[in-house]
A = this chain, B = another copy of it.
């Protein structure tokens, strides 16, 4: 109902017989304003229900007080946990958060970056779409000294010096594969995703390194690419059934696909882990629910968000957008029934 006009600093000034400049300064605790005046102004502002108009302030200061986040997709337990971590840090610092998703497309990613640039975000946290190969589209921001932090999916554009928060995906892939080898697997299938520059590419590299190191030849038939969602299981099962010689181990680059494939394999009569041992990636809730429970790689999602956001905050505080920083969080292999063939 009441479309009353907003209270402005001018209204406050008038009531107190002061100037708007004094009010403005007082509200921001400017030292030049007498303590007593400041207090009078503040209580008056309070009682009149004054709310700063952010547009006026932003216009003048050329600041937006807003941080942007771009994710591949919202619908991911991992990603939503990361955002949760980010949100916590950002709000505490008094920034607003604008979140958007690229839905795994480079085009959307570019559009989102432009949109965020347009609303003058002061910093960006981004996890790249699988289609993204270079970081050129971030130049709009970086050329204006707007700090950018990449997390999780950071691509392989090593040319560019950017701040990143990641885990060592190659090592994790290596650990997962090595574990399968020590469990006696000889033919390990890798279920991943087709982009060499992504986290999945790194996980694949770890897989290959582990095999090579153990004198096992890489078999292209055993590298299956898929989009790693709930449909991965049935699609991959078909490919496996087509194989002359079946695999005896599987390293899937995420839990969702691992679990979905495990379900299909069991339905088909394969025994897990006796016939086929399986390792996933993420330590999501499902990994504890399937039977047998899924061996997987754990890494801290909420913390990754927190750390990425904190880095960004410190870049903003110190205006040191130049000093790049590369945080590598620890991961850990969690061994469960899906891969455990030998009693220790």
Chain A contact residues, CB within 8 Å of chain B: 1-3, 51-56, 58-59, 64, 73-77, 79-81, 83-84, 87, 91, 96-101, 115, 117-120, 143-145, 230, 256, 259-260, 263, 285-286, 288-291
Contact = CB atoms under 8 A, between A and B. Distances in A.
Contact of A75 (B81, B91, B117): B81
A56 B59 contact: yes
Given A3-B145, A59-B55, A96-B98, A285 B73 contact: no
30 contacts: A1-B143, A2-B143, A52-B118, A54-B120, A55-B55, A55-B56, A55-B58, A55-B59, A55-B120, A73-B84, A74-B87, A75-B80, A75-B81, A75-B84, A83-B99, A87-B100, A87-B101, A91-B100, A91-B115, A96-B115, A97-B98, A97-B100, A98-B98, A230-B285, A256-B285, A260-B289, A263-B288, A286-B289, A290-B290, A290-B291
Given A91-B100, A96-B98, A97-B100, 6 more contacts: A53-B59, A79-B80, A83-B99, A98-B98, A256-B285, A286-B289
B76 A101 contact: no
A148 to B, nearest CB: 15
A54 to B, nearest CB: 6
Contacts of A73: 84
A289 B1 CA distance: 51
Contacts of A256: 285
Contacts of A143: 1-2
A2 B142 CA distance: 10
A145 B76 CA distance: 35
Q: Report the copy number of this chain in the oligomer.
A: 2
A120 B57 CA distance: 13
A344 to B, nearest CB: 21
Nearest to A94: B115
A3 B291 CA distance: 57
Nearest to A99: B99
Of A51, A98, A119, A289, chain B has the most CB atoms within 10 Å of the CB of: A289
A229 to B, nearest CB: 9
A309 to B, nearest CB: 14
Contacts of A83: 74, 99
Nearest to A91: B100
A3 B80 contact: no
Nearest to A291: B291
Contacts of A96: 98, 115, 119
A91 B289 CA distance: 36
A3 B143 CA distance: 8
A57 to B, nearest CB: 9
A171 to B, nearest CB: 26
Contacts of A84: 73-75, 101
Nearest to A51: B118
A144 B81 CA distance: 34
Contacts of A1: 143, 145
